[in-house]
Amino acid sequence: MRNRVRYSLLALGLVGSTATFADCKDLDVKGAWSRATAPVVNVGAVYFDLTNTTSQAVTLIGGSTPVSDTVELHRREMKNGMMGMRHMHAVKVAAGQKLEFQPGKYHVMLIGLKHPLKAEQVFPLSLQCADGSQRKIEVLVHKIMQ
Amino acid sequence: MYLNLRSILILLGSILIFIGVISKALPASSSPTINGMIFSEPKMLDAFKLKTADGQLFTRKDLLGHWTFIYFGYTHCPDACPIAMHQLKVLEKRLQKTAPDQKLSFVMVTVDPQRDTPQIMQQYVNHFNPAFRGLSGDPKEIEAFAKQLYVAYGRGEENTAIGYVMYHTDTITIINPNGQFVAAFSSPHYPRNMAQDFLKIIKYP
């Protein structure tokens, strides 16, 4: 009986630690930026370096921001010698893995911009993980576009 | 000894064949090396007609008297297209210093005429440099024009809030002042490299 209680406590502890360590809000996100957009453009891209410093894999599924209607994760890809991009519905980041959201690789896609993004503007972006947790970041808009 | 002589003859024969193959595979020695392709003979273009924001046609005549750099992209493209257009903007500034005698023109043609009108294209390129031209037009005309310049494109997936994405060849086409297709830059389009390559292109052939 005592053992059973001990195991139950241990199991609870493991469940607890899973919830704690795989939380999206503990992701290390550095240098988030976006580029200024032309008035006619209704899409934007956000870039940063993301490292999963937690001890478990997390799965990013999208996000939200006040500056656009929709937020999606996209990845640049080549197909038949042509360049395009793919909407990634889930991006798994293993424990300890670094994922580059950089031009030509992954980017967070802002769709339905409410206003053009202006240089020096800072806006909030919330990255959403599959478990419902979120990582809130601030994005700086650069005039330089590469 | 017989065997040795035969081996030597086989070896010599192999070397000659190898040299023959290599010399055919390599471009003529006078052709410069650029990040992309360069034709030994400029390629004439078939007639085409695209549309400008002020309702005018953009045809072969608009390519005469200056060098033209053409990029095919679309405005719902948040990553590759603004990067390429920014790189063309930097290239233009660079060439003003390194090739001041050359007249230059920069053009972006949409691969997504369904969403990009000529007006939208011009407003898009104005963001980079108001002297750039933004063009759209009849989908069949754009397709035929792109094909002449070895540019391919097509619709991608539709399960995105953008509606659909486009796939397109990420090259920058170079047209000489006679309106002939002479070269194309492959990506990545680093302005410094493109500027150096352009100086090779204007001296060749």
Residues A122/A139, Cβ–Cβ less than 8 Å: yes
User: Which residue among B80, B126, B162 sits closest to A76, beta carbon to beta carbon?
Assistant: B80
With an 8 Å Cβ cutoff, is B146 touching chain A? no
What residues contact residue B128 under an 8 Å CB cut-off, 6+ apart?
A145, B85, B86, B88, B89
Distance (Å) from the alpha carbon of A83 to chain B's nearest alpha carbon:
5
Distance (Å) from the alpha carbon of A53 to chain B's nearest alpha carbon:
27
User: Which residue among A38, A72, A85 sits closest to B79, beta carbon to beta carbon?
Assistant: A85
Residues of B in Cβ contact (< 8 Å) with A39: 123, 127
With an 8 Å Cβ cutoff, is B72 touching chain A? no
Q: Where do the structural domains in chain A lie, given as residue ranges?
A: 23-142
Q: What is the pLDDT of residue A19?
A: 44
Q: Which residue of B has its CA nearest to A81?
A: B169
Distance (Å) from the alpha carbon of A111 to chain B's nearest alpha carbon:
6
Distance CA A5, CA A13 (A): 12
Distance CA B1, CA B35 (A): 50
Handedness of CA B26, B31, B35, B41 (dihedral sign): negative
With an 8 Å Cβ cutoff, is B185 touching chain A? no
User: Which residue among A76, A80, A145 sits closest to B86, beta carbon to beta carbon?
Assistant: A145
pLDDT of B159-171, one tens digit each? 899 999 999 999 9
Residues B71/B92, Cβ–Cβ less than 8 Å: no
User: Which residue among A69, A70, A82 sits closest to B168, beta carbon to beta carbon?
Assistant: A82
Q: What is the pLDDT along chain A (146 residues), one digit of tens a residue?
A: 555 555 554 444 444 444 444 689 889 999 999 999 999 999 999 999 999 999 999 999 999 999 999 999 999 999 999 999 999 999 999 999 999 999 999 999 999 999 999 999 999 999 999 999 999 999 999 986 54
Chain A to chain B Cβ contacts (< 8 Å): 99
User: Which residue among B75, B153, B160 sits closest to A41, beta carbon to beta carbon?
Assistant: B75
User: Which residue among A40, A45, A84 sits closest to B75, beta carbon to beta carbon?
Assistant: A40
Q: What is the pLDDT of residue A143?
A: 86
Q: Which residue of A has its CA nearest to B117?
A: A40
CB atoms under 10 Å from CB of B64, counted, come to 13
Tell me the fold of B37-202. Answer: Glutaredoxin (3.40.30)
The class of domain A23-142 in CATH terms is mainly beta
> Tokens 């809130």 identify what position?
A136
The H or E element containing residue A91 is strand A91-93
Q: What is the pLDDT along chain B (205 residues), one digit of tens a residue?
A: 455 656 665 655 565 555 545 444 455 457 899 999 999 999 999 999 999 999 999 999 999 999 999 999 999 998 999 999 999 999 999 999 999 999 999 999 999 999 999 999 999 999 999 999 999 999 999 999 999 999 999 999 888 999 999 999 999 999 999 999 999 999 999 999 999 999 999 998 7
**Cα B145 to the chain's mean position, in Å?**
12
Q: What is the pLDDT of residue A12?
A: 46
Distance (Å) from the alpha carbon of A99 to chain B's nearest alpha carbon:
17
Q: Where do the structural domains in chain B lie, given as residue ranges?
A: 37-202
- DSSP annotation of A83 reads E
Inter-axis angle of helices B80-98 and B191-202, nearest 10: 50
Residues of A in Cβ contact (< 8 Å) with B126: 38
Distance (Å) from the alpha carbon of B169 to chain A's nearest alpha carbon:
5
- DSSP, collapsed to helix, strand or coil, labels residue B176 as coil
What residues contact residue A47 under an 8 Å CB cut-off, 6+ apart?
A31, A32, A33, A34, A101, A102, A103, A107, A108
- Are B87 and A39 within 8 A, CB to CB? no
